[in-house]
Chain A
Amino acid sequence: MNGLVTLTSAALLLAWNAIAPGNVAPPPKKPERVVAEVKIERGAIKGEGRAVQAKIIIPKGLVHGGAAGAVPVVPAPGAAPAPRAVPAPNARDQAGLPFGTIIAGVCMSLAAVSLVFVVRGNRGAKTTALAIVAGALVLGAFSAAYADLIPGRPNGPVPVPAEIVIELVDGGDTVTLQLAR
């Protein structure tokens, strides 16, 4: 009986060792540099805006080991779940509030009107208000002088910044580089 128990234990021990995670081969190291065949196309880039001067099409299999998406967020070991799906807006976004300028303008007007009530009958405040108005006028004149609205200044077309489109495609193993000219 004891021999049977010992034999069974030894068999289980050996079987367990065969599947122990420590014995699994380490994952292959991801290459840090990938060399791929490239196809260069010159001419109009279809389906993109005028600012786009180049487009590069990369098969997904060549980047991130074939993972979809641009830069996946990989939580560190022991870290909490991934960050929220919808990121809070950042500094670049805040300039894009369409009606923000209108509301700001209305508020500045209200500030100017309410300032009149504050300085009314107050000699010191009147002086301060006059100094602020004078400062605002000087600042306004300075801004106008350096704006592109003064006649005689070169008012050429606003330069369009050059852009490149990076597109990841599912199939293929050739990188395509399209150049506008």
Chain B
Amino acid sequence: MATATLDDVAPPRAESPARSALVFAAAATAVIAASCLLAGFAPLGFSIVTVFLFAGPHNWLEARYMLTRMPARWGPLTLYFTTGIAGVLLLAAGLAAVRWLGEWLRLDSEMWLALYAGWNSVFVAWVAALALMRSRQNPRRNWLWIVPGAFVLIALNWLWPMTWSLALVYLHPLVALWFLDREIGKMQPAWRTAYRGCLLLVPAALGVLWWNLASAPNLPGNDWLQQQITQHAGAGILSGVSTHLLVSTHTFLEMLHYGVWIVAIPLVSVRMTPWQLDNVPLARRSNAWRAAILAAVAAGVIVMLVLWGGFVANYPLTRDIYFTVAMLHVLAEVPFLLRLL
């Protein structure tokens, strides 16, 4: 069967490794600089446009990447993947239930906090359990320190549950950069030095944003959409910090996250169009599996189109629902990242 891979269209592999690394570094630098500028000057507009354009595609391509990393037969990894998938589904459903039932039952703030803190505790316990299971797989690691670390994190969470949740919001975009680092190390080692050099630009760009926006006035306006965006970035939790600064910082990191999942990972790791399943181990099990995975990929396209339709029809409501359901992909990253370490 003839297959057209991204190698055919992407020049880096055809060129010398040094030259392709330079092209990659130049592109990464341009994306970081442009994202920083747009996030700083037009934080709300940039946030609205990036979520509209990239939220759906990045989830689709991320799911496609995970298919390439999921073994065809789990064997001794059965417990690991079962715990991973069950945790993703239960924790995502749990968070949605906390939000929707909380609003429906009109819970008071104490109950809200207790539920959020409880969810965060289960999340930490789940990550710690997965990490301990991973440490017993090849290559073996001595990760016993994760147990006291997890208890400390749970303790901090019960003292400041909202701040802890906000930390997750800001850390999640950075996880994509970690994924990319591991994938470059495996698939394009010649790019690693250039990539890590570009990573230094991220704190530099954050420094530029904070330097310029530390004393900026809050963003004007107070409609539902703006409240969503500013609260998502931490307004109300980090009181006293300019909402302009918060939204700019969050939008900048989100854009990098989208760039990694939509451009960099497919280029470095998947190296195939999403509907070609030659590198999906599960698709090699049988024709039925191949058809099922193809159907799942097609369903992803439909979900993406529905999401765009929802954004056009009612952007704030769709955004609200999206960020609740999107917890699925945040959680799904954990077992796959641990497997890469």
Q: Please list the residues of chain A having a beta carbon within 8 angstroms of any beta carbon in chain B.
A: 73-76, 79-86, 88-94, 96-101, 103-105, 107-108, 110-112, 114-115, 117-118, 125
Q: How far is the CA of A74 from the CA of B222 in the complex (A)?
A: 8
| A-contact 0/1 string along B57-82, CB 8 Å cutoff | 00000000000000000000000000
Q: Report yes or no: B163 in contact with A88, Cβ–Cβ below 8 A.
A: no
List 8 A-B pairs, minimum CB-CB distance, nearest first. Answer: A111-B151, A107-B155, A79-B223, A89-B109, A80-B316, A76-B223, A104-B155, A90-B236
Q: Report yes or no: A103 in contact with B158, Cβ–Cβ below 8 A.
A: yes
CB of B117 within 8 A of chain A?
yes
Q: Which of A74, A97, A104 is the most central at the interface, judged by chain B CB atoms within 10 Å of its CB? A: A97
Report B-chain residues with C-beta under 8 Å of the C-beta of A115. 148
Secondary structure call for the B interface: helix
Residue in contact with B160 in the complex, picked from A94, A103, A108, CB distance below 8 Å = A94
Residue in contact with B103 in the complex, picked from A86, A98, A99, CB distance below 8 Å = A86
Residue in contact with B113 in the complex, picked from A82, A86, A97, A112, CB distance below 8 Å = A97
CB of B3 within 8 A of chain A?
no
| A-contact 0/1 string along B98-129, CB 8 Å cutoff | 00001100110110111011000000000000
Q: How far is the CA of A104 from the CA of B106 in the complex (A)?
A: 27
Q: Which of B17-25, B41-49, B187-195, B224-232 contacts A (4 or more CB under 8 A)?
A: B224-232
Q: Please list the residues of chain B having a beta carbon within 8 angstroms of any beta carbon in chain A.
A: 102-103, 106-107, 109-110, 112-114, 116-117, 144-145, 147-149, 151-152, 154-156, 158-163, 221-225, 227, 231, 236-239, 314-317
Residue of B nearest to A88 (CB): B112
Q: Report yes or no: A118 in contact with B161, Cβ–Cβ below 8 A.
A: no
Report A-chain residues with C-beta under 8 Å of the C-beta of B159. 100-101, 104
Q: What's the A-B contact tally at a CB cutoff of 8 Å? A: 113
Residue of A nearest to B239 (CB): A91
**How far in angstroms is the closest Cβ of chain A from B258?**
24
Sample of 10 A–B contacts (CB below 8 Å): A75-B224, A79-B316, A88-B236, A90-B162, A94-B237, A97-B113, A100-B159, A108-B151, A111-B151, A118-B148
Q: Report yes or no: A76 in contact with B221, Cβ–Cβ below 8 A.
A: yes
Contacts A90-B239, A111-B151 known; list 11 others, CB within 8 Å: A80-B224, A80-B317, A83-B227, A88-B236, A91-B236, A94-B160, A99-B114, A103-B155, A104-B154, A107-B151, A114-B147
Residue of A nearest to B142 (CB): A122
Q: Report yes or no: A91 in contact with B162, Cβ–Cβ below 8 A.
A: yes
Q: Report yes or no: A97 in contact with B114, Cβ–Cβ below 8 A.
A: yes
**How far in angstroms is the closest Cβ of chain A from B312?**
13
Q: How far is the CA of A146 from the CA of B268 in the complex (A)?
A: 54
**How far in angstroms is the closest Cβ of chain A from B331?**
20
**How far in angstroms is the closest Cβ of chain A from B280?**
39
Q: Report yes or no: A86 in contact with B102, Cβ–Cβ below 8 A.
A: yes
Q: How far is the CA of A115 from the CA of B152 in the complex (A)?
A: 11
Residue of B nearest to A120 (CB): B144
Q: Report yes or no: A82 in contact with B106, Cβ–Cβ below 8 A.
A: no
Q: Report yes or no: B314 in contact with A80, Cβ–Cβ below 8 A.
A: yes
**How far in angstroms is the closest Cβ of chain B from A11?**
41
Report B-chain residues with C-beta under 8 Å of the C-beta of A89. 109, 112-113, 116, 162
Q: Report yes or no: A79 in contact with B224, Cβ–Cβ below 8 A.
A: yes
Q: Report yes or no: A86 in contact with B155, Cβ–Cβ below 8 A.
A: no
Q: How far is the CA of A87 from the CA of B130 in the complex (A)?
A: 34
Residue of A nearest to B221 (CB): A76
Report B-chain residues with C-beta under 8 Å of the C-beta of A94. 113, 160-163, 237
Instruction: Given A80-B316, A88-B231, A90-B236, decide whether A111 and B163 contact each other with a Cβ distance below 8 A.
Output: no
Q: Report yes or no: B154 in contact with A91, Cβ–Cβ below 8 A.
A: no
Residue in contact with B223 in the complex, picked from A75, A96, A117, CB distance below 8 Å = A75
**How far in angstroms is the closest Cβ of chain B from A129?**
10
